Chain A
């Protein structure tokens, strides 16, 4: 079946690291994405990782992928109040399901000053 799961809420202090976790079900997914949504706005693409990679770093963002456990995580270093938002992970199924992104329900990140 198709199901992407995330924890619903995470609260951290400004300057700490945040780790947002996600599990997915389709082991043949090709790409996995992280999107950010601020209140009343659309989705902003943060980063992505190809399924043959274990890790990807992009400035303050680090993505870790454990294919065996179908587990994806997003680490935000030195979290700022501007990082407060809802974070969605999404999987892109293999060819044959072109175009369909499957999203989790989102993790609300609250950053306290």
Chain B
């Protein structure tokens, strides 16, 4: 049973560039959530995708956008990168019909902005 996978593992960008991160959910899951984890902090919710639409959004600017594909995989796009966007980006998958909405996390993508 494949768990949540993310790519790439690490990424280095410069300020002003754009980045795309990818996530494949756990087998059988249909919902993908994205979180940003700054160094020494807990994860912060960015947004969640279900049925190819953004279902809920956290307190992040419009520079952060996403997409979900028919196979439930998802992308996170960040435009006009700032130094403060350096963080571990975590993807979590869940089953929308699941009572607990328990979220299972991938290993993350470490983004460094120089």
Contact = CB atoms under 8 A, between A and B. Distances in A.
Interface residues of B, number: 28
A35 B48 CA distance: 19
Contact of B42 (A41, A98, A104): A104
Contacts of A42: 4, 6, 90, 105-108
A31 to B, nearest CB: 6
Nearest to B104: A45
Given A43-B43, A105-B42, A92 B104 contact: no
B100 A100 contact: no
Contacts of B92: 43, 101
B63 interface: no
Question: By DSSP majority rule, is chain A's interface helix, strand, loop, or mixed?
Answer: strand
Contacts of A41: 107-108
Interface bin, chain A = 20 to 34
Given A42-B105, A102-B45, A31 B90 contact: no
28 contacts: A31-B101, A31-B102, A33-B102, A42-B4, A42-B105, A43-B43, A43-B105, A48-B100, A48-B102, A50-B100, A88-B42, A88-B43, A92-B100, A97-B56, A98-B55, A98-B101, A99-B31, A99-B48, A99-B55, A99-B56, A99-B101, A100-B33, A100-B45, A103-B42, A105-B40, A105-B41, A105-B42, A106-B42
Interface of B: 4, 6, 31, 33, 35, 40-45, 48, 50, 55-56, 58, 90, 92, 94, 100-108
